Amino acid sequence: MRLCVRLAVLAGLLVAVAIGLIALRTDVHQSGNRLHALFREKRDLERQCCRLELEVARLRSQDRMHDHAASLRRAVDDTTEPNPSALEASGGARPVPGRAPAGPPRRPAVPRG
């Protein structure tokens, strides 16, 4: 009888150890799956971060180009702004930038002395 009790206790301990090992293996497997999902999420977030950084750089570049174009446009407008006396002398025609005005070339006035 004592032998049966000892065998029953031993069998119970073996079953408990087996259940503990199964629980441990299941926990390790679930942790691995969780870790894999987190690595996948990290990779996706890194891709999204790189994509957003490129978009920010592209937008900054476009802003710089727009600012530069606006400053060039202002500079061109300032240089081509018609002088009212020049408009009257030319009959109302606006001068074209980079092109000589129509008519005979003007000679610089030489002071008479």
The answer to whether the pTM exceeds 0.75 is no
Question: Using one digit for the tens of pLDDT, what is the confidence trace for 2-57?
Answer: 999 999 999 999 999 999 999 999 999 999 999 999 999 999 999 999 999 998 88
Domain ranges of the chain: 2-80
Question: Using one digit for the tens of pLDDT, what is the confidence trace for 66-76?
Answer: 888 888 888 88
Quote the Cα angle for 14-19-21, to 5°: 95
For residues 81 and 98, what is the distance between their CA atoms, to the nearest angstrom?
Answer: 13
